[in-house]
Amino acid sequence: MFHRTVLTLAGIATALVTATSGAQQPAASNPLDAVPDKMPFDIPYGAPIPLERAMAAIAATAAEARKHDWKLCVAVVDSGGNLVAFERMDGAQLASVQVAEHKARASATFRRETKVFEKGIQQSGSLYVMTLDGMIGSRGGIPLIEGGKLVGAIGCSGGTGSQDEVACKAGVAAIIK
């Protein structure tokens, strides 16, 4: 009988401690519930990038890659995500053909760098990002913005994500002043 009374009192004490400690800690808020004042990545679509400028971006990207002996695939899409120009450098892995275009298309259609998705998945724990159609969670896709309007995007694949990103930035810098 004594043993049962002690167990009952211990159970009541545990329940009181649990209830008290739960009341002292505010419930963690979900960061996805935050409502921003302005629309993020609200970049208007502009006229599609012309072939000549797309080729210039690819040339600058490939030149940067060659300086480091990186073998990349480079794609430039227009403001609608349609392929305008593409280059597969000698020795670039075949899987990177589709990945480079996918990075460029995702960057154009979502109007943001693909690095944003990578960060959301790997650092912010926003795993829902992986459910978005057409998304790719790897850096190396960068929008081409001219005069405040999205004219296209560039995507690189074949190196590490950081190598792809460095090469793409060289292409962006060559055509967007």
- Compute the distance between CA of residue 130 and CA of residue 136 in angstroms, rounded to an integer: 8
DSSP, collapsed to helix, strand or coil, labels residue 46 as coil
Residue 16: the pLDDT is 44
- Domain of residue 157, residue span: 51-175
Q: What is the DSSP letter of 73?
A: E
> Is the overall model pTM greater than 0.75, yes or no?
yes
Whether residue 106 is contained in a domain is answered as: yes
* Cα dist from 112 to 30, 69, 135, 141, 147, whole Å: 23, 28, 11, 8, 16
Q: What is the pLDDT of residue 33?
A: 79
Instruction: Evaluate whether residue 64 is within a structural domain.
Output: yes
- Please report whether residue 36 resides in a domain: no
Split into its structural domains, the chain has a count of 1
- Going from the C-alpha of 5 to that of each of 13, 15, 123, 138, the distances in angstroms are 12, 15, 50, 60
* 27 in any annotated domain: no
pLDDT of 4? 54
Domain annotation covers residue 1: no
pLDDT given for residue 3 in this prediction: 53
Packing angle between helix 51-68 and helix 161-175, nearest 10 degrees?
130
Element (H, E) at 121: helix 115-122
* pLDDT in 10s for each residue of the chain, 177 residues: 555 544 444 454 454 445 545 555 555 677 677 888 888 788 999 999 999 999 999 999 999 999 999 999 999 999 999 999 999 999 999 999 999 999 999 999 999 999 998 888 888 777 877 878 888 999 999 999 999 999 999 999 999 999 999 999 999 999 987
Domain for residue 16, yes or no? no
CATH number at residue 124: 3.30.450.150
In a domain, 26, yes or no: no
For residue 41, being part of any structural domain is answered with no
